[in-house]
Amino acid sequence: MRYRRQIELSTALSDEEKQEALQELNKMLEDGAAGRISDFRMIIRGQQRATHLDRARLSGRARELNEKGFYRIHSGVQIQ
Q: Select the more confidently predicted residue: 43 or 20.
A: 20
Is 73 a residue whose pLDDT tops 80? yes
Say what the pLDDT of residue 78 is: 58
- Which of 35, 50, 47, 43 shows the shortest CA–CA distance to 70? 43
| pLDDT band of 47, cuts 50, 70, 90 | confident
Alpha-carbon torsion (23, 25, 31, 33), positive or negative: negative
Q: What is the pTM of this model?
A: 0.77
